[in-house]
Amino acid sequence: MQSIKVNVFGKQIPIKVNDDEVENMKRIANYVDEKFKAYRQQLTNQPDSTVMILASLSIAEELFELRVKNEEFKEKENELMDEVNEDIQKLIEEIL
């Protein structure tokens, strides 16, 4: 376990992570920071809390969309595997 500090929206945040998660956590923090900054540029008259909430909702939306796509890929993969298995079964029956 390691203690690291990441910067998000101008604030330094200490986080404890597993040794093998350090670089990934830094990338995640950087992504969140960039998202917050992008929203700050668009919403100059809004308080920081609103900017952070909207940016967080945007990140959550991305996550949910990717989960849906991932589920669709899994379903398609299962369908293809079922077809392949059926074809293999037919070939085996023909051989026997």
In the chain, what is the greatest distance between 2 CA atoms, to the nearest angstrom? 75
Band (4; pLDDT cuts 50, 70, 90)? very high
Per-residue pLDDT, averaged over 10-15, amounts to: 96
Rounded to whole angstroms, how far apart are CA atoms 15 and 7? 11
pLDDT digit string, tens, across residues 13-59: 999 999 999 999 999 999 999 999 999 999 999 999 999 999 999 99
> What residues make up the domain containing 73?
2-95
Beta partners for residue 8, in sequence order: 11
User: What is the CA 73 to chain-centroid distance, rounded?
Assistant: 16
- What is the number of structural domains in the chain? 1
Task: Please report, to the nearest 10 degrees, the dihedral formed by the alpha carbons of residues 64, 3, 30, 59 taken in order.
Answer: 20
* Mean pLDDT score of the chain: 96
Residue 84 has pLDDT above 90, yes or no: yes
Band (76; pLDDT cuts 50, 70, 90)? very high
